[in-house]
Structure 1
Amino acid sequence: MHLNERIKYLRKEIFKMSQDEFGNRIGISRSNVANIEIGRINITDRVLSDISSEFNVNEHWLRTGEGDMFLTLPPEDEYIKAAAEISKDPDDEIIRQIIIEYWKLNPEGKKHLKEFIHNIIQNINKEE
C-alpha cells in the first residue's frame, strides 16, 4: 500500500470521514484530500505531521507502512488530547458541563456518579 492509499484507508475505513471532514480536521481543502488520495499531488511533511498529531497516527507508519498504525499515548497525554477535542467541539457542550459539575460534587456525589457511568459503559460494551 502506498502513502496515498494509507491516507485514504485511514480516512475512509478507520475514521469513516468524508474528504471534507478529514480536510477540515487537518486544515486542507476537500480537493487537496482528493488529489492526495489519487496521487495527483505529493503530500507535504506538514500535512503528514498534521495527520499524525490530529489523529494520533504513527508518522513512520504513514510514510512506510511499517510499525504500529497508531501511537500509544501515556494516560495523561490521552486525557489532555481528549480534553482539547471536547473543548473545541460545540456538540460536546453536555460533556463539558458534566465535567464541570463533577468537580463541584462532594466525594460521595463523585463516587455515585463514577459508579453510574461505569454501569452505563458496561451496558454499552455488552451490547457491542
Structure 2
Amino acid sequence: MARPEAAPKTPLGARLREIRRHFGDPERDQWAARLGVAKNTMASYERGDTEPTASVLAAYREMLNINLNWLATGQGEMLSSEGVAEAGLVAELAVEIRKLPPARQQLVLGMMRSIVNHELHK
C-alpha cells in the first residue's frame, strides 16, 4: 500500500497535484511515466521540493492541454481554452479505462489505435 502523500510545500506543487487528481488521480508512477519522468522526480515536483523542467512543462501543455499561465501563477483556468472539450473527453476516457485490469486496458488501447488508423487511412 502506498504511503500517504505529504502536503505540497509550494503553490506550484499543489497545482501539479491538482492536475493529477483532475485526470482521475492515477498512481504517481503511472502519471510520471505518462509525462516522461521518474516517479521520484514527479514526487519532488508535487511536494514542491523542485520545479519541473521546461520539457516537463511542455509535456503538461501538449499532452494534457494545461494552461501554463495557470500552472505558474494560479490565474485563469487549469485547462487551456483551446481544446477544453477534447481534454475533458480524454480525462473521462482515462478515468474509465483505469477501472479495468491492466490486460483489458491494453486491449482497449489497441482497439482505439486500430480505430484511429482505420479512420486516418479511409
- TM > 0.5 between the two? yes
Structure with higher RCO (Cα < 8 A, 6+ apart):
2
Shift of 1:90: 6.1
Q: 2:111 aligns with which of 94, 106, 110?
A: 94
Tell me how far apart the structure 2 counterparts of residues 71 and 90 of structure 1 sit (CA, whole Å).
Answer: 30
Tell me how far apart the structure 2 counterparts of residues 73 and 59 of structure 1 sit (CA, whole Å).
Answer: 12
Number of corresponding residues: 92
Larger of the two Rg values belongs to structure: 1
Tell me how far apart the structure 2 counterparts of residues 68 and 3 of structure 1 sit (CA, whole Å).
Answer: 14
1:1-128 counterparts in 2 under 5 A?
2-11=11-20, 13-15=21-23, 16-73=25-82, 91-98=108-115, 100=118
CA RMSD of aligned residues (A): 2.9
Structure 1 runs, 4 residues or longer, greater than 6 Å off: none
Which structure features the higher share of helix residues? 1
Give the TM-score normalised by structure 2.
0.61
Inter-CA distance 54–97: structure 2 relative to 1 (3 Å threshold): closer
Shift of 1:25: 1.1
Give the TM-score normalised by structure 1.
0.59
Return the letter of the residue paired with 1:14: H
Query: What percent identity do the matched residue pairs reach?
Result: 29
Cα deviations by residue, 1:73-122 (Å, 9 ceiling, x for unpaired) = 369xx5xxx7xxxxxx7632223444528x87xxxxxxxxxxxxxxxxxx
Structure 2: where are the runs of 5+ without partners?
Answer: 1-9, 91-105
Tell me how far apart the structure 2 counterparts of residues 35 and 96 of structure 1 sit (CA, whole Å).
Answer: 33
